[in-house]
Amino acid sequence: MKGGRGKRGRAAAATREATLTIERLGTGGDGIAHLEGRPVFVPFTLPGETWRVVLQEGGAWRGRPLERLGEPVARAEPSCPHFTRCGGCLLQHLPDPLYDEFKRQRVIEPLRQARIDHSVPALLARSPQASRRRVRLAYARRGGRLLLGYRALRSHDIVPIATCPISLPVIQDLLPPLTGLLTSLGGEIREGEVVVTATHTGLDVRLGGVEARSLEQRERLAAFADTWDLARLTVASERGAAEAIVTRRPPVLRFGTTLVTLPLASFLQATEAGEAALQAAVADWLPDRTRVVDLYAGLGTLTLPIATRCERLDLVEGDADASAACARAIAAYPRLQARCRDLEADPLEAAELAPFDAAVLDPPRSGAARQVERLAKASLDRIVYVSCHPGSFARDAQHLQAAGFELVALRPVDQFLFAPEVELAALFLRGQAKAKLNA
């Protein structure tokens, strides 16, 4: 009986309706209204709009929008037929002025909370439509049909897609054939993840949840790679073991004049436009003949384009495959060195940073708290910090500020079109570097 009452109670809560007026946008892009003193988060809405919603209770109240009421508020026309069903692009309905200000506020608010006084300029390098060079898709068999697409918002459900307007056309063209390929591999292929990356030598495709045990499966995969002129096609089992079934050309990325072969799984900036904006900030803020340490260097994305200007360049990265790929690419250059080191567990100490004039760092979303503590104690006086999370950036910036660094330049970069995320590049100076700036 208790179980029955609980089920009825949950069902009633799930179907409760309310009429709400959206007051503002939250950091995740949801509209925020209030009901009974509690915030309610309603996706795909705008400030000033009134909506009839279904309330969904959990850790926070969320509203599933049913009907827009009252006078309309100016909206942008979504460019994607999957908008509101796919959980990827949450901001397609925002008109440009509101969109730009929303992204600026994503940077302004964490800085304000950290008591860091610096103006935030307009967004740079908004990545255009049809520019995303890597997509990560989910697939699963449901009712005898294989579905390939993105996850729905806050759900494990898959929204099948035949197009993705933010992605490069060469990636969009591959989506329907990929569904056919996975279907043809047989019923043992149940679910997994597909990653498609556009490189300078062609598409690099990784099929998760696929082992390709039979000769027939391997032949199908090889034929698919030939038909669609893939650079490489890799399968990865549920246990994580990856195997390149076909490498027709090494999948290569170009950073300045340096060519780096993409490892089977490695971080990559989402668009070339966003990458170029971040590289430009690094190039503008590092003087010639500087001794540079690049922390969380990845494949060398940010500093290899200026390697010839550096007196010394050390690239430190925790991912072994990425570090090895970078090392192979720079093997002929004695002033460049790539090292593999987990900077979360084992950050470079102040003494190890002593040979360098400047540091570049591009940490994960969690930031670089332990490494920043060591940078604060080091002798170098110039730091270029690239961040994909304004909150962790503000925390680290606060620590640098306490150590005498001043935030002297900041560039927000809109690499993830229609997503709430915003990236930034920032320049910190102290000591002689700061004195030269003010001279």
Residue 433, C-beta contacts closer than 8 angstroms, at least 6 positions apart: 381, 382
Q: What's the order of all strands across the beta sheet hosting 382-387?
A: 336-340, 312-317, 291-295, 358-361, 382-387, 423-429, 406-413
Please name the helix (run of DSSP H) or strand (run of DSSP E) that holds residue 142, with its range, or none. strand 134-142
Q: How many CA atoms lie within 13 A of 424 on its CB side?
A: 31
Q: How many CA atoms lie within 13 A of 184 on its CB side?
A: 14
Strand-pair partners of 425 = 386, 411
What does the DSSP 8-state code read for residue 38?
A: E
Residue of 126, 20, 162, 10 lying closest to 415 (CA atoms): 126
Is 99 labelled as part of a ligand binding site? no
d(CA 329, CA 323): 10
d(CA 56, CA 336): 55
Is 269 labelled as part of a ligand binding site? yes
Tokens 């690094």 locate to 282
Report how far apart, in Å, the C-alpha atoms of 332 and of each of 190, 258, 337 are.
45, 11, 10
60-65: long-range pairs with CB below 8 Å, 24+: 61/35, 62/30, 62/154, 63/18, 63/20, 63/33
Is 396 labelled as part of a ligand binding site? no
Q: How deeply is 213 buried, as exposed, middle or buried, from its count of CB atoms within 10 A (0-12, 13-18, 19+)?
A: exposed
DSSP letters for 293-337: EEET-TTTTTTGGGGGG-SEEEEEES-HHHHHHHHHHTTT-TTEE
Is 362 labelled as part of a ligand binding site? yes
d(CA 127, CA 132): 8
* Annotation says 388 is catalytic: yes
Strand-pair partners of 150 = 159
Strand-pair partners of 158 = 151
Strand-pair partners of 338 = 315
CA 215, 216, 221, 223 torsion: positive or negative? positive
Annotated binding residues for S-adenosyl-L-methionine = 269, 296, 317, 362
Q: Which residues are catalytic?
A: 388
Annotated binding residues = 269, 296, 317, 362
